[in-house]
């Protein structure tokens, strides 16, 4: 796939009168059927004669604000108010694939990074065509026309026409290849802290999540899956489940069985009553101790360098498996018919869902329609395993089925953030700064599962290479600091636990290790951790600025209440740089996080309100993991089952969070994930400052302080 391919704009006339506009990497398309809506055509923008403006959002909304930020980009160039735009969540079409992506998906903090330009161009082209249509009507030069709030104005003659009145005429015009764009200094919307467009729906209970989908005649299902990963069904007695009122059928599905019933509660009772046994599985017998032994052996395989002297560090760090624990449990609704299949699914990867559904049903991908809904949290979890199950269940019963996992199934069948162990050997030079830095990492390949699951889909070609090219486990080991000798080695370990992407992926664990060790180095050298970092960032002006900003906002060095201490960390990920200063106190072994100051450089940005939300959220999400979260293994299965034994942070444990955004004109960076990586090391560096105890294993709650 060429990265330099050009984006073509194309337009079509709506049968009802109006303008449809799209931007794809392919040849311009012609409206083939008047019944087709913009969504199926891979178009983005619809301006109806009724003045309604419809916009297809190509990314899924999982809290990161794309249903606000993306229409804002479009509205800025089109000169309408974001509130005038009706949001349509994209179905599957190759036009909604990000440039360079092998499948249609939302992840990697890329929505703004990748879509800003095409959306801005679409808005500008539509505006330009509407202006031309008005100029033609009025017989005036286009440059005498202005646009405002969905209207074209001719000031001299005090004439105006709404976009709706112009849409049909505009749709017959040639789409400009390089439409004029607004000067950024004239932006009214981009860069402003606009309120979210999904706010009202989300405070009134009206927002439709996957779990809320209702299809006429639908049944409900819930699942029982092999506790050991990839275990097979040994035997089950379905009579006990079928004896439960309302239970219709027990269906074998991917990883286990689905109990299908008239109501969800009946399906749940049926599943509880079902006697089922599984056998085998690739994680058979595994427990926490064995896991750690495997990681340690892998590190030993890499070979330990002899390092000695007073100015050296030789330390090991460990991080556990983590669950995503999205608030909305995995679910999917499927309706399989002889000649078509419809799927309603909260997923980050709708195109894979479509292809898997086609495979299961024997239908062509074009006969499968995927409706994406709002996602009740994503964090990298929402793929397609549960969608496969729903399609299988609907196919088996010949009716629409809404399949919902219990929290227990969700906790025990996640695609976990892998556990990792690192060995760091650092030599300080005479100046007290690291002269050599040797990082050895052992743990599962985060991308392996994902890649192998796609091998039998259309994405195969581009995915296979990922297996040998696993940046997802090692990203974040690179340092922005000037260190003469830097070595990094990675040994893949495969304990058999299902793994995947967890908000900030490799950065989530590597940042903890490297930013903690850098702090250790500063302490060994007897230097202030901030001053030490700054001294190593002479060649990195953006990193310096971010670090200095966070420190300044936090009052680094200023006096604190008795028993309080600060820690700092810096990390670049997803094209953005984030620094955080954490203020803690530790009382009788209990850590209390009081304040977190964040600074972010994400280049040019769209909505500072959403950036603040994402940074605050990332702080809480990362703190929750660092303080409490750990998936424990017993007999090859996950021992945790629900929120009582997979503890996550609650409001009473949440700090005050302050966010400062660096203003510059750099290329846009990601926002959803970069706030996560620095929080664990900043927290543990603060705990060290408060107590003298260095935390080298997470979660903190399991460590005696």
Partner 1 sequence: MKKTLRINQTAIELDLEPDTPLLWVLRDEAGLTGTKFGCGIAQCGACTVHLDGKPVRSCSLPFEAVPENAEIRTIEGLGQSRLHPVQQAWLEEQVPQCGYCQSGQLMAAAALLQDNPQPTDSQIDQAMSNICRCGTYPRIRKAIRRAAELQTQEA
Residues in the site for partner 1, rule: CB under 8 A? Answer: 61-65, 195-196, 198-209, 211-212, 214, 220, 245, 263-266, 269, 324-329, 374-379, 404, 406-408, 609, 613-614, 616-621, 624, 642-644, 648-652, 654-657
Task: Identify which of residues 181 and 195 has a Cβ nearer to partner 1 in the complex.
Answer: 195
What minimum distance in Å lies between the beta carbon of 648 and partner 1? 6
What minimum distance in Å lies between the beta carbon of 115 and partner 1? 19
Task: Identify which of residues 327 and 455 has a Cβ nearer to partner 1 in the complex.
Answer: 327
What minimum distance in Å lies between the beta carbon of 61 and partner 1? 8
* Residue 560 to residue 542: CA distance in whole angstroms: 28
What minimum distance in Å lies between the beta carbon of 484 and partner 1? 39
- The Cβ-side half-sphere exposure at 306, using a 13 Å CA radius, reads 0
Task: Identify which of residues 48 and 622 has a Cβ nearer to partner 1 in the complex.
Answer: 622
Contact, 317 vs 424, CB < 8 A? yes
What minimum distance in Å lies between the beta carbon of 266 and partner 1? 8
What minimum distance in Å lies between the beta carbon of 69 and partner 1? 13
Q: Which residue has 């609704």 as its token pair?
A: 333
Q: Among the residues of 6-93, which ranges form H helices? A: 38-41, 66-78
| Coil vs helix vs strand at 507 | helix
368: closest CA among 40, 12, 25, 148? 40
What minimum distance in Å lies between the beta carbon of 212 and partner 1? 4
Task: Identify which of residues 264 and 278 has a Cβ nearer to partner 1 in the complex.
Answer: 264
Task: Identify which of residues 92 and 211 has a Cβ nearer to partner 1 in the complex.
Answer: 211
Task: Identify which of residues 105 and 210 has a Cβ nearer to partner 1 in the complex.
Answer: 210
* Residue 573 to residue 675: CA distance in whole angstroms: 9
Task: Identify which of residues 161 and 267 has a Cβ nearer to partner 1 in the complex.
Answer: 267
Task: Work out whether strand 401-404 and strand 331-336 pair parallel, antiparallel, or are unpaired.
Answer: antiparallel
Could you tell me which residues come within 8 angstroms of residue 594 by beta carbon, excluding any fewer than 6 positions away? 564, 583, 584, 585, 655, 656
Q: Burial, 158: exposed, middle or buried (Cβ in 10 Å; 0-12, 13-18, 19+)? A: exposed
* Residue 541 to residue 53: CA distance in whole angstroms: 43
Could you tell me which residues come within 8 angstroms of residue 611 by beta carbon, excluding any fewer than 6 positions away? 600, 602, 605, 659, 661, 671
42: closest CA among 148, 153, 134, 118? 118
What CA–CA distances, in Å, run from 416 to 312, 450, 591? 34, 12, 26
What minimum distance in Å lies between the beta carbon of 654 and partner 1? 4
Task: Identify which of residues 532 and 658 has a Cβ nearer to partner 1 in the complex.
Answer: 658
Task: Identify which of residues 570 and 671 has a Cβ nearer to partner 1 in the complex.
Answer: 671
What minimum distance in Å lies between the beta carbon of 201 and partner 1? 8
State CA 699 to chain mean position distance.
Answer: 22
**Residues across the chain:** 705
């Amino acid at each position: 796939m060429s990265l330099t391919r050009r984006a073509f704009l194309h337009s079509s006339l709506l049968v009802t009168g109006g303008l449809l506009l799209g931007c794809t990497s392919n040849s311009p398309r012609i409206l083939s059927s008047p019944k087709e809506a913009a969504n199926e055509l891979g178009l983005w923008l619809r301006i109806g004669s009724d003045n309604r403006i419809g916009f297809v959002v190509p990314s899924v909304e999982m809290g990161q604000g794309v249903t606000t930020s993306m229409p804002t980009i479009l509205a800025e160039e089109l000169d309408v108010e974001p509130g005038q735009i009706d949001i349509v969540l994209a179905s599957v079409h190759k036009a909604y694939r990000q440039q360079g992506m092998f499948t249609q998906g939302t992840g990697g903090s890329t929505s703004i990074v990748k879509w800003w330009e095409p959306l801005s161009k679409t808005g500008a082209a539509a505006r330009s065509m509407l202006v031309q249509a008005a100029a033609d009507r009025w017989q005036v030069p286009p440059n005498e026309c202005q646009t405002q709030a969905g209207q074209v104005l001719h000031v001299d003659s005090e004439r105006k026409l709404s976009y709706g009145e112009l849409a049909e005429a505009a749709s017959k015009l040639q789409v400009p290849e390089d439409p004029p764009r607004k000067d950024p200094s004239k932006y009214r919307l981009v860069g402003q802290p606009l309120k979210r467009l999904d706010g009202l729906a989300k405070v009134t209970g009206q927002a439709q999540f996957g779990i809320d989908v209702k299809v006429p005649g639908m049944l409900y299902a819930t699942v029982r899956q092999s506790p050991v990963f990839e275990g097979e069904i040994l035997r089950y007695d379905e009579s006990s489940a079928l004896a439960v009122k309302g239970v219709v059928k027990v269906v074998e599905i991917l990883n286990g069985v689905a109990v299908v019933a008239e109501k969800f509660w009946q399906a749940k009772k049926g599943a509880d009553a079902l006697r089922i046994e599984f056998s085998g599985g690739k994680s058979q017998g595994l427990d926490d101790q064995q896991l750690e032994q495997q990681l340690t052996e892998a590190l030993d395989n890499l070979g330990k360098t002899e390092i000695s002297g007073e100015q050296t560090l030789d330390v090991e760090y460990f991080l556990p498996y983590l669950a995503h624990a999205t608030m909305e449990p995995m679910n999917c609704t499927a309706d399989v018919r002889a000649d078509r299949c419809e799927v309603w699914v909260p997923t980050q990867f709708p195109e894979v869902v479509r292809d898997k559904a086609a495979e299961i049903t024997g239908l062509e991908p074009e006969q499968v329609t995927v409706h994406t809904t709002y996602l009740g949290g994503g964090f990298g979890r929402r793929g397609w395993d549960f969608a496969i199950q729903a399609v299988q269940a609907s196919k088996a019963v010949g009716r629409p089925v809404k399949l919902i996992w219990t929290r227990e199934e969700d906790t025990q069948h996640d695609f976990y953030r892998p556990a990792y162990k690192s060995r760091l050997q650092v030599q300080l030079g005479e100046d007290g700064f690291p002269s050599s830095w040797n990082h050895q990492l052992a743990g599962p390949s985060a991308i392996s599962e994902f890649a192998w699951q796609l091998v039998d889909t259309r994405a195969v070609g581009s995915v296979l290479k990922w297996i040998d090219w696993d940046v997802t486990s090692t990203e974040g080991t690179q340092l922005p600091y000037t260190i003469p000798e830097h070595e990094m080695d990675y040994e893949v370990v495969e304990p058999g636990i299902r793994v995947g992407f967890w908000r900030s992926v490799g950065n989530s664990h590597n940042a903890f290790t490297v930013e903690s060790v850098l702090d250790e180095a500063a302490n060994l050298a007897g230097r202030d951790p901030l001053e030490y970092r700054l001294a190593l960032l002479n060649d990195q002006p953006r990193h310096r600025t971010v670090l200095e900003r966070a420190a300044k906002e936090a009052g680094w060095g200023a006096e604190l209440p008795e028993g309080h201490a600060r820690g700092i960390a810096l990390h670049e990920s997803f094209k953005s740089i984030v620094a955080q200063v954490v203020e803690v106190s530790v009382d009788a072994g209990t850590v209390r996080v009081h304040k977190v100051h964040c600074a972010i450089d994400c280049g040019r940005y769209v909505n500072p309100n959403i950036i603040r939300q994402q940074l605050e959220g990332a702080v809480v999400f990362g703190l929750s993991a660092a303080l409490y979260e750990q998936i424990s293994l017993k007999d090859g299965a996950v021992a945790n089952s629900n929120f009582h034994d997979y503890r996550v942070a609650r409001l009473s444990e949440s700090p005050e969070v302050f966010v400062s955004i660096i203003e510059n004109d750099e290329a846009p960076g990601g926002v959803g994930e970069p706030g996560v990586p620095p929080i664990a090391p900043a927290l543990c560096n603060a705990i060290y400052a408060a107590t003298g105890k260095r935390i080298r294993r997470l979660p903190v709650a399991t460590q005696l302080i």
